[in-house]
Chains A and B, each alone.
Chain A
Amino acid sequence: MGMRKVAVIGAGMTKFVRRALETPKELSWEAAKMALDSCELTMDDVDGVCFGTAPDAFDGVHMNGEYCSDGAGAWNKPFMRCFVGGGTGVFVPIQGWYHVASGLFDVVLVVAEEKMSSYYPHAQAAFLTIFDHTTERPLKPNLLWIFALEMNRYMTTYGIRKEDIARVSVQHKRNAANHPCALLGEANITVEDVLNSEVLAWPVQRFDVSPVSDGAVALVLAAEHVAKRLTDKPVWIEGVGWHLDTAYWTNRDLAYPRYVEYAAKMAYDMAGIKEPRKEIHIAEPYDPFDYKALHHLEGLQLAERGKAIELYLSGAAAPDGDLPICPSGGLLGVGNPIAAAGLMKVAELFWQLRSEAGARQVPGQPRRGLAQAWGDLMQVGTVIVMGR
């Protein structure tokens, strides 16, 4: 297709915390500066900046992309903010990718930031106005409702037990215990802890859900000729995909995320992947809820429908398994500052594929990884495949 090869050559992230003192600009700056420093570049080397942040309401600043632009390094540069809700964190590196793949820029700085703690009393209220004002809002719905309804449908369709789904949360939170930026790493958490946690909207309990968090992540993307000059360990973006399902969440198949399947197929075709289960060595599916990781693994064709839980039950999903899932600790363990959380997954692939993931490094020198996020009105899938 005449596209140039694009590599990730640097990454940085702030700690994910419950309430950061830093302003959104300052969080963005910390991550951007770390990413540039990691590959010894300065702003003089950067041709353009892509910035991702989810609803403005979280940070409490309308046009938050423009507000954070100084921290993201956008001064005097072409600057683009993307927003596809929860899918933003994996979409923003895709946006960076096409600016480099197209030949427009050689080096792009990609930054994702979210400061959810500004919204008070709880970030959940930011979602009040995403629902249809006439048919849904009079019932005062919130996102937990949607997920509880979807989780129940998913469990019932395939006969999956709640105590098995809890294994996802346990695995991810244990993985996060080795992540220096994690908010909810728990080395000793058990299935009983998850099942005994507060019921929020049955079957969703407190430990089935990722936390409200603040944080930022940044990557540096470079065209092949620049990447090869700057690093011995470029991590190539081999495939990207994104896809949208119906705007009516009532008209979607709640037991199977078709939007993820189509996004993944787009990315696999680009990467030349025919058998994802064999050709993907680590996966970072989007896991704001534990059942969602399973749901997405099935959409990603990494498991048969209703069978993703077997990856966890068999140990395949563990860091030393044959398909480590969310070795970072995922949103359930590291935290979920929306856009930053998705980009954290892509940064995790970068570190894992370069064997720079420290205590959470998976064995076997994985060659190829996948990250995925999900968002908009719960109907967009965004997928990126990276390899070394």
Chain B
Amino acid sequence: MTLLERDREAPSAWKGSLPVTSRYTYGLAGERFFRALKDEGKILASYCPKCDHTYVPAVNFCERCLSELTEWQDAGLVGVLHTYTLLFVDFEGQPLDEPELIGFISFGDGGIIHKLDANPDELEIGMPMKAVLKPQKERSGSILDIRCFQPVNK
């Protein structure tokens, strides 16, 4: 069963009009990546030996040579702060009560964009950052199973 179809909150029947929406599959790579995150609390990388290139989040083919990627490895939960921003307005242009930190945490040759839990004054580009995961019972196979990243020495 795929991660998507495990959604038990999906209604089995619907009365009235049905909103038009998109239902995505996780894909071959996504099923493996998000299952590892959910069940084992791991962030997986995939490596192309031909191009010497590491993809995080892991993908199942190398976009450079189109080889299938079979070398998957645990990337660990600690990456490096590549850049960050501080948000003062929300999606709809309304001012936020508290500014929000968003960062790009690099892993391998790729990385993950996520929320940061830190004091903006203590952030330095290049510092190690650790993923804070939700407890396993609350994880659903989503990028939000990572609650945020925070400085390793916090």
Contacts and interface: CB of A to CB of B under 8 A. Distances in A.
A20 B59 CA distance: 17
Contacts of B68: 33
Given A21-B27, A23-B25, A25-B27, A121 B20 contact: yes
Interface stretch (B28-36, B73-81, B92-100, B139-147): B28-36
A198 to B, nearest CB: 20
B61 interface: yes
Given A21-B28, A25-B27, A33 B22 contact: no
A20 B61 contact: no
Contact of A121 (B18, B31, B66): B18
Interface in A352-385: none
Which of A23, A44, A128 has the largest count of B CB atoms less than 10 A from its CB?
A23
Interface string A175-214: 0000000000000000000000000000000000000000
B4 to A, nearest CB: 9
A73 B24 contact: no
A26 B64 contact: no
A26 B23 contact: no
A25 B62 CA distance: 11
A26 B26 CA distance: 10
B54 interface: no
A120 B21 contact: yes
Interface string B45-84: 0000000000000011101111010000000000000000
B25 A119 contact: no
Interface string B9-24: 0000000001011111
Nearest to B21: A120
Do most interface residues of chain B lie in helix, strand or loop, or is the interface mixed? loop
B64 A21 contact: no
A43 B25 contact: no
Nearest to A70: B63
Given A33-B61, A36-B66, A76-B64, A60 B25 contact: no
Interface in A33-59: 33, 36, 42-44
Contacts, number: 65
A21 B24 CA distance: 9
B27 A26 contact: yes
Interface string A104-145: 000000000000011111000100100000000000000000
B25 A125 contact: no
B60 A26 contact: yes
B28 A22 contact: yes
B136 interface: no
B85 interface: no
Contact of A120 (B22, B60, B63, B66): B22
A23 B21 contact: no
B49 to A, nearest CB: 15
Given A21-B2, A21-B31, A121-B20, A29 B66 contact: yes
B64 A71 contact: no
B25 A120 contact: no
A73 B66 contact: yes
A14 B28 CA distance: 14
A248 interface: no
A94 interface: no
Which of B2, B21, B25, B68 has the largest count of A CB atoms less than 10 A from its CB?
B25
Given A33-B66, A42-B65, A118 B24 contact: yes
Nearest to A74: B63
A43 B20 contact: no
Nearest to A124: B20
Interface in A51-99: 60, 70-71, 73, 75-76
Interface in B107-152: none
A227 to B, nearest CB: 21
Contacts of B66: 29, 32-33, 36, 42-43, 73
B137 to A, nearest CB: 26
B57 to A, nearest CB: 12
Contacts of A44: 65
Given A22-B25, A33-B68, 16 more contacts: A19-B25, A20-B25, A21-B27, A22-B28, A23-B24, A23-B26, A23-B29, A23-B30, A25-B27, A29-B66, A60-B23, A70-B59, A73-B63, A75-B64, A76-B64, A121-B20
6 contacts: A21-B31, A23-B29, A29-B61, A32-B66, A36-B66, A60-B24
Interface of B: 2, 18, 20-31, 59-61, 63-66, 68
